[in-house]
Amino acid sequence: MTTGAAAILAQFTRRPPPPGERCELCGEPLPDEHRHLVDTTRRSLKCSCPPCHLLFTHPGAGQGRFRAVPDRYLTDPGFTLDGSGSGIGSGIGGDGWNRLQIPVGLAFFFRNSALDRFAAFYPSPAGATESELDPATWDAVIGRTRLAGLLQDDVEALLLRAERDRPASCTLVPIDICYELVGRMRLHWKGFDGGAEARADIEEFFGRVESRARPLKADSGAGARAGGRAEDGGAP
């Protein structure tokens, strides 16, 4: 076989390169960093290109099945786990955390519009595990806080972290970030305590979240609901 013939044959036998990620609505190629939609019917995330994401930022688009995941990160300097506003808070083992009945020091909460209730999940090496959340407990511990009042159904969550002898932290985040944390834990967790690699990865993750978060101002509640600027408690 001549060299030329062998080269032509190789073109037909060579495996094609694996396709990159594509928008799950229109099929356009996507970069590694891209936005997501929540499929409220199937309770799943879909990768989306900028035009498709923008389309579903409008209320009622697509009869409400798909909702664009926003990109805002908010903290409340006055947050306490019991909602008292005392500025003291409680870490893991504290009364507020114990009432939530979360067995680990990480959890996220969001409102499921289809079920018309709040859901609680905590990341584990097996994936996202749902925890029973009594509505009265939610109202008493977290539901009265400013951050809870700003949550958008299905697409945003409150990400809580509690460590021993330290006040619990709470950040309003895009829902896809919570599932990124779940994926990181499944990838790196080893043994009983996760191991050094998993702990370092979690610290890096929360460092990134903290760097993106903007603090609420004292009078920011109305502005956030109206879609104000991130530094005022609204959407970026």
Going by the DSSP 8-state scheme, the letter that residue 47 receives in this structure is: E
In tens digits, what is the pLDDT along the chain, a chain of 236 residues? 555 554 444 444 444 445 678 999 999 999 888 999 999 888 899 999 999 999 999 877 878 889 999 999 999 988 887 544 433 345 445 577 788 888 888 999 999 988 888 999 988 877 888 888 888 888 888 888 999 999 999 999 999 998 777 778 899 999 999 999 988 888 877 766 677 888 888 899 999 999 999 999 876 544 444 344 444 444 33
State the Cα torsion 193-196-198-200 to the nearest 10°.
130
SS3 118: strand
Among residues 167, 131, 158, the alpha carbon closest in space to that of 213 is found at 158
Its sign, for the CA torsion 93, 94, 95, 97, is negative
What does the pLDDT read at residue 66? 92
What does the pLDDT read at residue 157? 97
Among residues 222, 215, 220, 187, the alpha carbon closest in space to that of 201 is found at 187
Going by the DSSP 8-state scheme, the letter that residue 74 receives in this structure is: E
Within 10 A of 99 (CB to CB), how many other CB atoms are there?
18
Q: What is the pLDDT of residues 44-62, one digit of tens each?
A: 999 999 999 999 998 778 7
In which residue are the tokens 């539901």 written? Answer: 143
What is the value of pTM for the model shown?
0.79
In which residue are the tokens 């504290």 written? Answer: 94
Is there a contact between 155 and 40 (Cβ–Cβ < 8 Å)?
Answer: no
Burial class for 128, CB neighbours closer than 10 Å (0-12, 13-18, 19+): middle
